[in-house]
Structure 1
């Protein structure tokens, strides 16, 4: 029998072009980051961007968390610093080469970028080839309170051991991580700016994931840049507009940019959904937004 709820979750996560065949569940936790790209993709696109490490320090790190070291990736310019901090929130697929490259891109323009593996306790994403399984067995079982605390731990690590300046703290997230950017902006009072790339606004509320991005829109503590595509089958633009208007009514700042005909995942250069022009424009807007709001 087909799992319709899993199908709906997969659509909401923007899984067009991703593998969804049934596989057996893996029962161990990640202790390190995956090498290469996620296995949960039908093919790797030729336009994959690779940013080198010249002039920066980049690599896997262990981030002190409440129950032990959490795997993560850090990229930071060479030199004494301190540098403004951007917390990078992954998609549902783990901190793979695409997320690592984003950290290096940020470091190349002067940021201390840290991407913690927020799903390390729930499953080993490096082995999973079934996108719907990831949603069902990992994403839906990761409490919001857990990953928010882990982002706080990553920020503390950046400020104490990674040459980061927490007085200039920002967050940027993609897909499910875009939802995370909204929620983290409602959590962290000293956050200066947030950027949400096509993060789901609606969704099922559960005991461990009790609020949606739309629910917290009026509570954000920092200006938020929302980058979305008009052709995103899982995120109606009207829902983002409603969240923006709810934030505005509460005296908050949400700058919404909607790219015509862009699908979900338009920034993901390793996936068929990639669209170069909106991806590049969104990236330039994101960097300008961070600097304009004190993260730079």
Structure 2
């Protein structure tokens, strides 16, 4: 089957019985910036980065209301490293996100991926995307996420990180968070947002979206988007570009014309090697120039 084709059988297998109908599921997917063609369908990843020479593993970060689980990676025995917060997709801190941390560690960063849904539930325990979108994602408030990321930034200093050189990158759900955190933390030095949602209806837990805070960015953000993204309209991307330009912010947006949503996710059929490798190269150059 073509990577962009979702058959009726495949689609039906994603729906929780008697809870989310076909139209409701499609509407929810579109509203959150996802596309049916890029749902995770394989456990393995194309890229596998080993942990040789790294101090990598799990830990916890104390927050005001509990211990936040994190995955981290850095060169063993190193100190005063620039810090990168790595923000998950809705699927949690799975192997692809952990691998991204190891890739960054091999480039000289302390990379930290927090389990930002730990209070609301474990997406790896749910059967399908509709369950994640209905039972976990709506319950996660932006305020909670911002506070958790602040806690991770502080914790990084105890793990060999340099708190004065702080960056963030995130994918899909985490791409939106990347923009928001750049408007939240004045100590942030750089961000790279991979196909994160830019606009939408406000809610109690998500009172603002990136386009609403474009004028408030404390740090330059590089946005990486796909021209064939079924969930993030190019009109939204161009509106965000116009907003940061009007605010005089030194951010930049790159659109890959032929790329779908989640083109960096090497465990999904949406993966596009050329665009993913170019985006990664741009990320490294962006961080190197800003940190």
**Contact 2:35-2:229 within 8 A present in 1 as well:** no
Shift of 1:15: 3.9
Q: Does 1:43 align with 2:42?
A: yes
Residue ranges of structure 2 left out of the alignment (5+ in a row): 1-19
Decide which of 148, 151, 154 is 2:152's aligned counterpart.
154
Deviations 1:28-49 (A, max 9, x none): xxxxxxxxxxxxx33346x621
Query: CA 1:236–1:15 in 2, change beyond 3 Å: closer, same or farther?
Result: closer
Matches of 2:96 and 2:37, distance apart in 1: 16
Q: Describe the superposition over 1:250-289 as per-residue Cα deviations: whole angstroms up to 9, x where unpaired.
A: 1212211111210000000000000000000000000100
| CA distance, structure 2, for counterparts of residue 206 and residue 149 of structure 1 | 18
Note the 1:1-296 alignment, pairs <5 A: 2=21, 4-11=23-30, 12-17=32-37, 41-44=40-43, 48-159=46-157, 161-294=158-291
Q: 1:31 corresponds to which residue? A: none
The SS at the match of 1:192 is strand
- Give secondary structure in 1 for the equivalent of 2:249: coil
User: How far did residue 238 of structure 1 move?
Assistant: 2.1
User: Aligned partners of 1:261, 1:54: CA distance in 2, in Å?
Assistant: 36
How far apart, CA to CA, are the structure 2 residues paired with 1:243 and 1:135?
25
Find the aligned partners of 1:152 and 1:44 in 2 and give their Cα distance. Answer: 31
- 1:2 Cα deviation (Å)? 2.1
User: CA-atom RMSD, angstroms?
Assistant: 1.5
Query: What's the secondary structure of 1:84's corresponding residue?
Result: strand
* 8 A Cα contact 1:7 1:132, kept in partner: no
C-alpha displacement of 1:5: 4.7
Return 5+ residue gaps in structure 1 as ranges: 20-40
In 1, are the aligned partners of 2:35 and 2:231 still within 8 Å (CA)?
Answer: no
Whole-angstrom CA distance in 2 between matches of 1:61 and 1:278: 32
Deviation at residue 69 of structure 1 after TM alignment: 1.2
* Separation in structure 2 between the aligned mates of residue 195 and residue 8 of structure 1, nearest angstrom: 27
Q: Do the aligned residues in 1 keep the contact of 2:264 with 2:272 (CA within 8 Å)?
A: yes
Conserved in 1, the CA contact under 8 Å of 2:62 and 2:151?
Answer: yes
Report if aligned partners of 1:86, 1:172 keep a CA contact under 8 Å in 2: yes
CA distance in 1, matches of 2:154, 2:43: 35
* Residue deviations 1:89-125 (CA, integer Å, cap 9, x gap): 1000000101000000000000000010001111121
- TM-score, normalised on structure 2? 0.89
How many residue pairs align between the two structures?
Answer: 271
Q: In 1, distance between residues paired with 2:207 and 2:144?
A: 13
**Distance in 1 (alpha carbons) for counterparts of 2:113 and 2:208:** 23
